[in-house]
A and B are shown apart, each in its own frame.
Chain A
Amino acid sequence: MRRANPIASRPMSTSAITPQSIPLGRRIKRFMADRPLVPLVILLVILVVILQILRPGIVNERWIANTIKFAIPLAILAGCQTMTMLTGGIDLSVGTVATMSAFIMATQIVNQDPAVAFLLAMTPAVLIGLVNGIGVGVFRVHPLIMTLGTSLIGTGCLQVYQRTVIASGAKIPDFLAWLGTGVTWGFPNALLLFVPLAALIVFTLARTGFGRLLYAVGDNERATRLSGVRYWQVITALYIVSSLLAGITGLLYIGLIKAPSLSLAEPLVLPSVAAAVIGGTSIFGGRGGYTGTIVGALILTVLTTLLTILQMPEGARRILFGLIVLFVTAAYLRIVEDR
């Protein structure tokens, strides 16, 4: 499901050249570039089959529900990466933002009204998103450095905050626990949140002006600015949206993990980048979409299960994720250069 890139549409018609005149390797490459979802789904199925062979009987209804439950927070965070990567950026503060909102929610719910606690939990997300956006959009700091810096500041703030709430303790709101872990008729309840959210992201990217701006900015920033787009406004809005999504992920994740800690969502950051890259979003901007990212998140979750069964340590997992990011980026670069 390649989404047509409206502003910078590349020549897509293969019909102009007769198929016979193109060598097979090139045709495969072009097919992969045009329909990245097909090889991704095939890869996912292969991974599940391998899993089934290694542990016969593991793939059942409960396993699928569990896999989806764990893939959803990753998929939302990878959504943040997808959107920022479309503009040629990256958001490494999502882990800290998710952790902050989760921790604040769990501690504020003890004395506060749920709505107030929710607003308090979302405040740091908006603030960090705003600072990221201003830093990247106005001051032109590289997004990676900027979001790394804000995540460092956020972690510091969280540590200070933690001491003020040690006495009051923490609890997981029942609603979040239901949303995070509950399963109704075989479907995880988290889908109730995820399906509308994913639909909204896909719709925004494909059909709205904001989505088009993201693709445009990532594809050719100079041209976009010359055609009258206020770059900093787009970027600021983007990073705030990204942070808000990360905050919501935090709330969902605390319902799933049920143990508030200061490094709750940190382990999700690297996989979220990897999921977006695997899903076909170019880290240089202008190419990609959210549907691929969702499949990427599922692939990574199944892969993690596989690695756990193979008793691969955490370190090896990180090495693998790093190599995946490098390999896939290099491969996509080749495909794009080939056109």
Chain B
Amino acid sequence: MNHFLRRQGWVIGLFALLVALFILTKLIQPGYGSGDFGSLARAVLPYAFAVAAQTVVVIAGGIDLSVAAMMALTSVTAASMMAGASEEYALFVVPFVLAMGFVLGALNGLLIVVTRVPDIVVTLAMLFVLQGAALLVLGAPGGGAAEWLKALISGTVPIPGLPDAVDAWLPKALLVLIFCLCVIWIPLRRSRLGLSIYAIGSSELAAFRSGVPVKRTRILAYALSGLFAAFGGLALTMSTGIGAPIPGPYLLASVAAVVLGGVALGGGKGGLLGPIIAVFVLRLVRTDLTLLAIDPNVTAIIEGLIMVAVVMFGAFITMRGRQQ
């Protein structure tokens, strides 16, 4: 138990912070109920996938600057393919877009491995390329989404054996998020590949000498990142019903949440749970600011300040760790 506490200390602290924020929210707005929580979960969805995408790569010792652009591209692709198409067609669109994210992510990794240009430059160049591609697919916000996809993340679903009061607090968006992340993350974490990802993030040389296929692992880590980003893009299309070619502030948010979630920017440490809780914390802060009737533009400034402060703090910790 003691061991568990020490290993998960950061995540538990973060969870306590989240609970404290929920209590604060309830104090500010006594009427805050399950419906509001549902919209919070819906708002968190694209951010959470962006963070998951970033987390995989950061654990592998890299960074992916093209996360937001990848989300924009997958989102517009999905939206333009589904515009005016039949409901069944979307059944084909979803796997197609996910495969596209996977392949483009693998391309990121492949370019890093083949050209030996540092990840930060490759993904920056890919950011330009993917943004351009998104603009080519859809010049202005538009497109559409299948009704069943939109319904997938709105409202709640009755779960047998649970009282309605509890069920109301489990919005579909949250369930979709948990399902998608668990289906990919848990098997990954237990597999050889997952171990390799942690290994190359921890020490590339040591991993190489112990026989870990470093190049292949790196490519797969970026491919998984692309897959998560594609989920994020789909989530964007699902929640707004359209696709927008200009990416939102997901890149900075993903890095901030990764840092806040206890994943060291050097790699090899941390898990997915911390960053996901961190996303909820960051979003809930925004909700609170909105509930306090603060101008949305000012909210954006405060949010930016918090994210920058978090990233600065994380960098400071990393630096300290390196000096010792």
A146 contacts which chain B residues (CB < 8 A)? 308, 311-312
Closest residue to A274 on the B side, CB-wise? B128
Nearest-Cβ distance from residue A103 to partner chain B, whole angstroms: 14
Say if the beta carbon of A152 comes within 8 Å of chain B. yes
A183 contacts which chain B residues (CB < 8 A)? none
Decide if B300 touches A159 in the complex (CB within 8 Å).
yes
Decide if A149 touches B304 in the complex (CB within 8 Å).
yes
Contact string against A for B residues 302-316, beta-carbon threshold 8 Å, 1 for contact and 0 otherwise:
001101100111011
- Stretch of A202-210, A296-304, A324-332 with 4 or more beta carbons under 8 angstroms from chain B: A324-332
Interface residues of B in 102-140 (CB under 8 A from A): 111, 115-118, 120-122, 124-129, 131-137, 139
Decide if B132 touches A319 in the complex (CB within 8 Å).
yes
Decide if A325 touches B125 in the complex (CB within 8 Å).
yes
Nearest-Cβ distance from residue B30 to partner chain A, whole angstroms: 29
Give Cα A156 to B249, complex, Å: 12
Say if the beta carbon of A7 comes within 8 Å of chain B. no
Give Cα A318 to B247, complex, Å: 14
What total of chain A residues lie within 8 Å of the partner, measured CB to CB? Answer: 40
Closest residue to B301 on the A side, CB-wise? A156
B90 contacts which chain A residues (CB < 8 A)? none
Q: Which of B111, B128, B305 touches A318 (beta carbons < 8 Å)?
A: B128
Interface residues of A in 109-167 (CB under 8 A from B): 131, 135, 139-142, 144-146, 148-150, 152-153, 155-157, 159-160, 163
A interface: dominant SS = helix
- Stretch of A24-32, A66-74, A249-257, A308-316 with 4 or more beta carbons under 8 angstroms from chain B: A308-316
A333 contacts which chain B residues (CB < 8 A)? 115-117
Among A135, A270, A322, residue most surrounded by chain B Cβ atoms (within 10 Å): A322
Among A139, A145, A283, residue most surrounded by chain B Cβ atoms (within 10 Å): A145
Give Cα A284 to B124, complex, Å: 13
Closest residue to A92 on the B side, CB-wise? B124
B136 contacts which chain A residues (CB < 8 A)? 313, 315-316, 319
Nearest-Cβ distance from residue B238 to partner chain A, whole angstroms: 24
Say if the beta carbon of A321 comes within 8 Å of chain B. yes
Nearest-Cβ distance from residue A269 to partner chain B, whole angstroms: 10
B interface: dominant SS = helix
A148 contacts which chain B residues (CB < 8 A)? 251-252
Decide if B125 touches A156 in the complex (CB within 8 Å).
no
Nearest-Cβ distance from residue A238 to partner chain B, whole angstroms: 18
Give Cα A160 to B136, complex, Å: 32
Decide if A142 touches B315 in the complex (CB within 8 Å).
yes
Decide if B128 touches A135 in the complex (CB within 8 Å).
no
Give Cα A155 to B117, complex, Å: 31
Decide if B297 touches A159 in the complex (CB within 8 Å).
yes
Nearest-Cβ distance from residue A101 to partner chain B, whole angstroms: 18
Say if the beta carbon of B234 comes within 8 Å of chain A. no
Decide if A156 touches B297 in the complex (CB within 8 Å).
yes
Say if the beta carbon of B200 comes within 8 Å of chain A. no
B249 contacts which chain A residues (CB < 8 A)? 152
Decide if A315 touches B297 in the complex (CB within 8 Å).
no
Q: Which of A150, A157, A313, A317 touches B139 (beta carbons < 8 Å)?
A: A313
If A140-B319, A319-B133 touch, whether A153 touches B304 (CB-CB below 8 Å) is yes
Among B121, B139, B319, residue most surrounded by chain A Cβ atoms (within 10 Å): B121
Decide if B118 touches A323 in the complex (CB within 8 Å).
no
Nearest-Cβ distance from residue A75 to partner chain B, whole angstroms: 19
Decide if B126 touches A135 in the complex (CB within 8 Å).
no
Decide if B115 touches A326 in the complex (CB within 8 Å).
yes
Give Cα A323 to B129, complex, Å: 7
Say if the beta carbon of B295 comes within 8 Å of chain A. yes
B230 contacts which chain A residues (CB < 8 A)? none
Interface residues of A in 246-287 (CB under 8 A from B): 270, 273, 283-284
Decide if A326 touches B111 in the complex (CB within 8 Å).
yes
Give Cα A155 to B301, complex, Å: 8
Decide if B132 touches A145 in the complex (CB within 8 Å).
no
Say if the beta carbon of B24 comes within 8 Å of chain A. no
A157 contacts which chain B residues (CB < 8 A)? 301
If A141-B315, A146-B311, A322-B132 touch, whether A284 touches B304 (CB-CB below 8 Å) is no
Nearest-Cβ distance from residue A77 to partner chain B, whole angstroms: 16
Say if the beta carbon of B298 comes within 8 Å of chain A. yes
If A135-B308, A326-B111 touch, whether A283 touches B128 (CB-CB below 8 Å) is no
Beyond the given A144-B124, A155-B300, A322-B125, please list 7 additional residue pairs across the A-B interface where CB-CB is below 8 A.
A152-B252, A160-B298, A313-B136, A315-B136, A319-B132, A322-B126, A333-B115
| 8 tightest A-B CB contacts, nearest first | A322-B128, A318-B132, A315-B135, A315-B136, A319-B132, A326-B125, A322-B129, A156-B301
A-B contact pairs, 7 of them (CB 8 A): A135-B315, A140-B319, A315-B245, A318-B129, A322-B128, A326-B111, A326-B121
